[in-house]
Amino acid sequence: MKCQYCEKPATFHITELTEPNGPKVMHLCEEHARNFLQKEATSPVASVAGALAKQLQLGQTKAELEELDQKECPVCGISFFEFRNTGRLGCPYDYSFFESDLIPLLTNIHDATEHVGKRPRRLAASADSQARMIQLRREMEEAVELEDYERASEIRDELKRMESDLNQPAPEETANGNEDEANSPEGEDQS
């Protein structure tokens, strides 16, 4: 007997018991049986690529995609092209920076675009202040490399300050005088 999908001999005979209609038998060669069984085990890269391919079919032109490919995140420097090829983003800010391009992708993958469920109990940092912290950290590393330790420790202090701003449970204030000062969003407008 031949495989249902090709000329090779069928070595797998799989009986499917669809309850109302009675048993149905499939005859597959080893390769097709294996493909069939493995089909669900898609890698993240494959599912991102797959979802992007669908997006392209849904009306994005090639020229539009080429333009999108060149777009680069100002915080981590990743291009959309690199993301597309690896399936991995470069930093949390990418969700804001590439937002309009990611929404159709999220819809394809999750059939949803909004988080439902657990939230951190602490005040979540705004996308901008998260981006600012990543930039500051990079500047700090550069300062250390240039042996400008004074600048490096200034940046470290600023990072600490930003983190302690966020170090409180959301949304109420605690009645502690020190923290009022820390609450003024110092680094936020700088990015």
Partner 1 sequence: MNQETDFNALARNSGEWLRGTGPESDIVISSRIRLARNLADFPFIRRCSDEDRDSIERTVRARMEAIEDWNDIRYIDIEELSEIDRQFLVERQLISREIADADGSRAVAMDPGEQYSVMINEEDHLRIQVMQSGLDLDAAWARIDSLDDQLEGSILYAFHEKYGYLTACPTNVGTGLRVSVMLHLPALVITRQIEKVFRSMQRINVTVRGLYGEGSQYSGDFYQVSNQVTLGHSEKALLSLVGDEVVPQIIQYERKARAFLVEQNQQDLHDDVSRALGILSTAKKISSEETMHYLSKVRMGVNLGLIDDVELATINKLFIHTQPAHLQKLHGRMLGSSDRNVQRASYLQRHLHGEQGEGEFN
Residues that bind partner 1 (CB under 8 A): 13-18, 26, 34, 36-38, 40-42, 44, 47-48, 75-78, 86-92, 95-96, 102, 105-106, 109-122, 124-125, 127, 130, 133-134, 136-137, 141, 159, 163, 166-167
Q: Under a CB-based contact definition with an 8 Å cutoff, are residues 31 and 12 in contact? A: no
Question: Is position 12 an interface residue for Zn ion (rule: CB under 5 A)?
Answer: no
Q: ∠ at Cα 72 (156, 125), nearest 5°? A: 40
Distance CA(101)–CA(55), nearest Å, equals 10
Q: Which member of 80, 83, 94, 132 binds Zn ion (CB under 5 A)?
A: 94
172 Ramachandran zone, left/alpha/beta (phi>0; psi -120 to 50): beta
Contacted entry of Zn ion, partner 1, none for residue 152, CB cut-off 5 to 8 Å set by kind:
none
Q: How far is the CB of 141 from partner 1 (least distance, A)?
A: 5
C-alpha 172/C-alpha 186 separation (Å) is: 20
Shortest distance (Å) from residue 11 CB to Zn ion: 9
Shortest distance, CB of residue 78 to partner 1, whole angstroms? 6
Question: Would you say 3 or 89 has its CB closer to partner 1?
Answer: 89
Q: How near is the Cβ of 81 to partner 1 at its closest, in Å?
A: 14
The smaller minimum CB distance to partner 1, of residues 8 and 24, is found at 24
Task: Please report, as a single letter, which amino acid is at residue 88.
Answer: R
Q: Which amino acid type is present at position 150? A: E
Residue 171, preceding peptide bond in cis (omega within 30° of 0): yes
Residue 173 is given by DSSP the state: P
Classify each residue of 139-166 as buried b or exposed e, where b means 16 or more C-beta atoms within 10 Å of its C-beta: bbeebeeeeeeeebeebbebbeebeebb
Q: Which is nearer to Zn ion, 94 or 158 (CB)?
A: 94
Footprint of Zn ion on this chain (CB under 5 A)? 3, 5-6, 8, 29, 32, 73, 75-76, 90-91, 93-94
